[in-house]
Structure 1
Amino acid sequence: MSETSGSRVPRRVVTALRDGKSVFASDGPSPNVHHYASVPGMTTSVVYATAAPPRLPQDEAETAPPRLHVPPAPGETRLMIVTFPPDTVMASPEFDPVAADAEQREFIPGLAERFEPDAPGMHRTDTVDYDLVLDGEIWLELDDGATAHLRQGDIAVQCGTRHAWRNKGDRAATMCFVLIGGAPR
């Protein structure tokens, strides 16, 4: 990740094919990054997206513009980076869940609507997700309350089940998610 305007944003390097030769189509900050005003320390970025099936070589068009619908359709993919602040941020008396919901619905459409109002953070998508902890530590919570404590370098494979991410630590945790759209049974 790189520093841009004082905020950490993912650097994205994308290759393409021009005149039969591999080239760098872009190299710079991901264009789809949002630093949440209502959830201090939270950042989301959909870094890249593919259609179903991905066509190779990819063209040089932007695949992940701001406000892209996050959950992919069957066969589509999304690459997403999320920084989760400690849960104490949401437990603060200053935290405004209505503002946080509105901001998430604007910047992670399709995903924000899946968060359950009566069970904050809990959600389910029709995706297989490869989830890698890039920095910090985080807890994966399932609907029965079972948890798995994940640290930097750990990977979870989320298979379309109801879950939530909890940061019980005292510093931010950054994760990389690869979402692959699936078809429900």
Structure 2
Amino acid sequence: MNKGADIRIPRRVVTGLKDGKSVFISDGPTPNAHRYDSVPGHLTSVVYATPARPSLPQDHAEQAPPKILITPEPGETKLMIVVFPPDSVFATIDPAAAFEEQAVHIPGLIQAFEADAPGMHTTNTIDYDIVLDGEVWLELDDGAETLLKQGDIVVQCGTRHAWRNKSGKPATMCFVLIGAERE
């Protein structure tokens, strides 16, 4: 049994048009949410994705299917919810098992993480990051850190960073990733 089974899967409501009227296209658990067996208390979920030039109405097909590539191309977006367990959990895991599981569920993103600097990563994205619950530290490549609490927002501009949960409770964050070109 997954020790993180009590983590709530995000509910996603998507609207669209039918016969010229607003309708609910879907309402239920995010289809690609994943609770990690290798990292108890960790959850990732891509809630929605858009192409570089979205059009309306949105297609009724699933926009964020399981195993979707996480890192967006320039102009594309991905909306994610991530639950970070305390860092003390990460200290007890099997890194190879975690990487294997994460490679299936967050492809593209997990490959951006540095093997010799746990948690540090860089992506070609501008991210709007919002702390929904708990607290988390944002660490930059020079060791500078800042504590973020519920309601705090970070605009992450393609820099090398890591998220650290130094508390004893889970932290939940919302990430909007916007693909960018690096010069």
Give the alignment's TM-score, normalised by structure 1: 0.95
The aligned counterpart of 2:136 is 138
CA offsets 1:149-177 (integer angstroms, 9 cap, x no match)? 00000000000000000000010000000
Quote the RMSD (CA, aligned, Å): 0.9
Runs of 4+ deviating beyond 6 Å: none
Give the alignment's TM-score, normalised by structure 2: 0.96
1:1-185 paired onto structure 2 within 5 Å = 6-92=6-92, 95-185=93-183
What is the distance in 2 between the residues matched to 1:160 and 1:91? 26
Secondary structure of 1:101's partner? helix
Q: Which amino acid aligns with 1:25?
A: I
Secondary structure of 1:8's partner? coil
What is the distance in 2 between the residues matched to 1:64 and 1:113? 19
Secondary structure of 2:8's partner? strand
CA offsets 1:59-111 (integer angstroms, 9 cap, x no match)? 2110100000001000000000000000000112xx20110111111100000
Secondary structure of 1:27's partner? strand
Q: What's the % identity of the aligned pairs?
A: 68
Q: Kindly indicate whether the alpha-carbon contact (under 8 Å) linking 1:41 and 1:85 is maintained by their aligned counterparts in 2.
A: yes
Q: Kindly indicate whether the alpha-carbon contact (under 8 Å) linking 1:17 and 1:59 is maintained by their aligned counterparts in 2.
A: no
Q: Kindly indicate whether the alpha-carbon contact (under 8 Å) linking 2:7 and 2:41 is maintained by their aligned counterparts in 1.
A: no
1:6 Cα shift?
4.9
CA offsets 1:2-48 (integer angstroms, 9 cap, x no match)? xxx85410000000011111110001100010000000000000000
Number of aligned residues: 179
What is the distance in 2 between the residues matched to 1:118 and 1:6? 32
What is the distance in 1 between the residues matched to 2:69 and 2:44? 13
Q: Which amino acid aligns with 1:22?
A: S
Gapped regions of structure 2 (runs ≥ 5): none
* Greater Cα shift, 55-64 or 66-75: 55-64
What is the distance in 2 between the residues matched to 1:160 and 1:143? 12
What is the distance in 2 between the residues matched to 1:164 and 1:147? 9
Secondary structure of 1:140's partner? strand
Secondary structure of 2:108's partner? coil
1:148 Cα shift?
1.1
